[in-house]
Structure 1
Amino acid sequence: MDRIRIVGGSKLNGTIPISGAKNAALPLMIAGLLSEETLILDNVPRLADVAQLQRILGNHGVDIMSAGKRPGDHEYQGQTLHISAKNIIDTTAPYELVSKMRASFWVIAPLLARMQEAKVSLPGGCAIGTRPVDLLIMALEKLGAELTIDGGYVIAKAPGGLKGAEIDFPKVTVSGTHVALMAATLAKGTTIINNAACEPEIVDVADCLNKMGARVTGAGTPRIVIEGVAKLHGARHTVLPDRIETGTYAMAVAMTGGDVQLSGARPELLQSALDVLTQAGATITVNNDGIRVSRNGAGLSPVNVSTAPFPGFPTDLQAQLMALMSCAKGSSHITETIFENRFMHVQELARFGARIHLDGETATIDGIAKLRGAPVMATDLRASVSLVIAGLAAEGETMVNRIYHLDRGFERLEEKLSACGATIERISG
């Protein structure tokens, strides 16, 4: 099993190209099931989760052609996928495929909308709390689907097709919004989603669906309206840049010092996180090529943050901020409001010497002058990269084990960091 070895203490200087967003690429690929025609997606990141979803879609009979690098292409430019779901040969998504990644459960929406039936295994994926699918099931039932759960599978039928409805989510749910949005595009009549998630990735999927002939308005607001259409056609769409990757590298620069251009980043996608970094003592400059992050020798200031749905501070940057605050001058408080159980990185950060005290969903971090390198273990996708950030700033050597979590969400992490002067390498086997 691969590991990452880091020798800390180097400042980061240079340019890091930001990849396409995993959290948009996955639902965009799934949206390809809604049409018989080909959906072309540009700037798709090369990630383990993307490869896994290609296998899942292939199981349904979807042909996916990946356009390789052309001469002159930059190595970090994402791949182009041609997704053709002309003939769906199987409406079952089996446990052995779905169990590896939660987002793959979302295939239930386009399969039900287009084929009027689906049998999808209950999901697996990250070990963060329960993250149930009850709101997704509620949304599909509102649209007229009949759902039963049998032997760990959700069996869904809509014999006469789905019908437009009003869906009121009791809490903001990104996965529920994606599922309702995709299913409603082919439903008869109008669907209104109330208390919809406002994340940029929802807007990206809605933009793509509209290019395919859907009639979606209000994406990015809490009220999305979808006028159902009889069928969708092919389209071409570019995946938006990854705001979590952007925020992660911005925090790495704030942690180590230095000056890095985050090429292709879009500041409006993570303004709340950039505001927190500025408060902590980093200098953020927006320019034509993205975002420049720097920190001179001045120390880090403590911050108090609660995670919140977009446009608030993202839960997916909480672990990275905690690593950063472990070296701030004073005490910081981070409250996690989105996922229970999302403090699994605390014990691993403590191995660097970080002083973190948990009280319910709030962590108090008492900053120390210097972290010390240590062997640590990745626990989930976002937490694992917080260990990399800590290792970059720590004295001595850090070995991050179980890094398959990192490969699910960060494209060529060690290459991007070593190009900016970090001493970091992947050790295979």
Structure 2
Amino acid sequence: MMIIDGPARLSGELSVQGAKNSTLPLLAGALLCKGQTVLHNCPDLSDVDTAIEILRHLGCVCRREGHDLIVDSSITCHEIPEELMRRMRSSIVFLGAILSRCKEARLCPPGGCELGPRPIDLHISSLRRLGVQVKECGGWLECSCPGGINGAYVSLSFPSVGATENLILAAVCGKGTTIIANAAREPEICDLSEYLNRCGGRIYGAGESCIIIDGVEELYGCEHRVMPDRIAAVTYMAAAAVTGGNVTLRDVDNTHILPMLSPFEESGCQVRQLGGSLNISAPRQLSAVRHIRTMPYPGFPTDAQPVVMSMAAVGEGTSVFVENIFENRYRHTEGLTRMGARIKVEGKVAVVEGVPELSGAAVEAADLRGGAALIVAGLCARGSTRIEGTEFVKRGYEDIGEKLALLGARVKVFESC
């Protein structure tokens, strides 16, 4: 639980954590490598803890030294327990790596935030193109490739990040050449490919819509620095914006932020980018953000939509959001409305009429990014905001309460019993 007493103008400097959405596939990639992998800038998150538990169950030795995570890769098991699979949706990314190492894998469909249907059918159909046999038995997926992974041409019907990562992890040590058409282009795909290439892989075209993988016999562990978390960065930018603040973010990759800059500029914020840092200075009164349409990269990311909606809630004018990725991505609107926001949702469209001020209220986070949106709203709301369900937020934000307090927010965090 978190209690925020607002409003409070944020100011100061903050370092951005390593990316959750990059760390998880990197840890799956460590399964493929002989010897030791050292991941620098590894965030301390509950989802990362779950991934470490999965690695240990599979036979790896993992230890933390501050923000360095050391993985000694060995694999003695090809099954992930249901309890670990159910904790997070991204657990499915281990499938390709386990198949590559063991030629078989057994797991159940993953869990995670309830954002509507996110079927793993695309993962399964794509891996079948590489020679993987899949059957469902009592709610479990039993996968095997007795002859190993065989290179093939795979055209994705949607540029799924998870399916692209699973294909890369499966094919990097496979036989022959794999071509992924309509591949996801997110920076996290580039980070995974850079790591695997540093380990001896041959992956070409990451960041483009066509990725070519020439299979190699072996990979060897290396040291790699996890890319900065672009969604965490935009969350702190939104926090600065709603409070009329002036905040400098260090350790960011400004090229990753570019697709998310438009709403900040439209709202009247000044954003200055210099090297590995970013400064945002917000006006006293935000303007509407006009029109946000979520799309695969390099479009506006669905993970950033909830926190930008909190900005729109106090922006002068009307903002329109169109959510094209997840059908249940508007669950945070209930909490925002309870705080005084004027939001009308119809299907995948949300229309936000900005109000002069939000009021503190008791609200509950239903998912990771929705929880972050409620925190952002609480920072500018008058009075006390009590947010339950902040365990969701811990899945993707490292010490968010403490970091906001360093910037001047009045935040109290209470651990769940």
For the criterion TM > 0.5, the same-fold answer is yes
TM-score (norm 2): 0.98
| Counterpart residue number, 1:320 | 307
Shift of 1:298: 4.0
Contact 1:417 1:424 (8 Å CA) reproduced: yes
Of the three residues 47, 50, 58, the one matched with 2:48 is 50
TM-score (norm 1): 0.96
Contact 1:172 1:309 (8 Å CA) reproduced: yes
| Counterpart residue number, 2:90 | 103
SS at match of 1:92: coil
| Counterpart residue number, 1:153 | 140
SS at match of 1:312: coil
Shift of 1:121: 1.4
Matching of residues 9-408 of structure 1 within 5 Å: 9-68=7-66, 79-86=67-74, 88-408=75-395
SS at match of 1:340: coil
State the Cα RMSD in Å: 1.0
SS at match of 1:270: helix
SS at match of 1:202: helix
SS at match of 1:365: strand
Structure-2 separation of matches of 1:242 and 1:393? 24
Contact 2:343 2:351 (8 Å CA) reproduced: yes
Structure-2 separation of matches of 1:396 and 1:103? 37
Structure-2 separation of matches of 1:255 and 1:288? 25
Contact 2:288 2:354 (8 Å CA) reproduced: no
Contact 1:371 1:393 (8 Å CA) reproduced: yes
Structure-2 separation of matches of 1:383 and 1:302? 18
Alpha carbons of structure 1 residues 369 and 190: separation in structure 2 relative to 1, 3 Å: same
| Counterpart residue number, 1:412 | 399
SS at match of 1:16: strand
Shift of 1:296: 2.8
SS at match of 2:141: strand
SS at match of 1:247: helix
Q: Deviations over 1:116-136 (max 9, x none)?
A: 111111111110101010000
Structure-1 separation of matches of 2:144 and 2:70? 29
Query: Once the two structures are aligned, what percentage of the paired residues are identical?
Result: 37
AA partner of residue 70 (structure 2): H
SS at match of 1:64: strand
Q: Deviations over 1:218-261 (max 9, x none)?
A: 00000000000111111111000000000011011111111100
Structure-1 separation of matches of 2:113 and 2:284? 37
Structure-1 separation of matches of 2:329 and 2:263? 20
AA partner of residue 347 (structure 2): G
Q: Deviations over 1:256-290 (max 9, x none)?
A: 11110011111110212112211111110012341
Contact 2:253 2:276 (8 Å CA) reproduced: no
Question: Which contiguous aligned blocks of 4+ residues in structure 1 show a shift greater than 3 angstroms?
Answer: none
Q: Gaps (5+ residues) in structure 2?
A: none
Q: Deviations over 1:130-168 (max 9, x none)?
A: 101000001110000111111111111111111000010
Structure-2 separation of matches of 1:123 and 1:165? 26
Structure-1 separation of matches of 2:216 and 2:32? 11
Shift of 1:172: 1.2
Structure-2 separation of matches of 1:297 and 1:171? 41
Structure-2 separation of matches of 1:135 and 1:149? 15
Shift of 1:115: 1.1
Contact 1:270 1:311 (8 Å CA) reproduced: no
Structure-2 separation of matches of 1:99 and 1:384? 20
Structure-1 separation of matches of 2:276 and 2:145? 47
Structure-2 separation of matches of 1:257 and 1:175? 37
Shift of 1:36: 2.4
Contact 1:302 1:329 (8 Å CA) reproduced: no
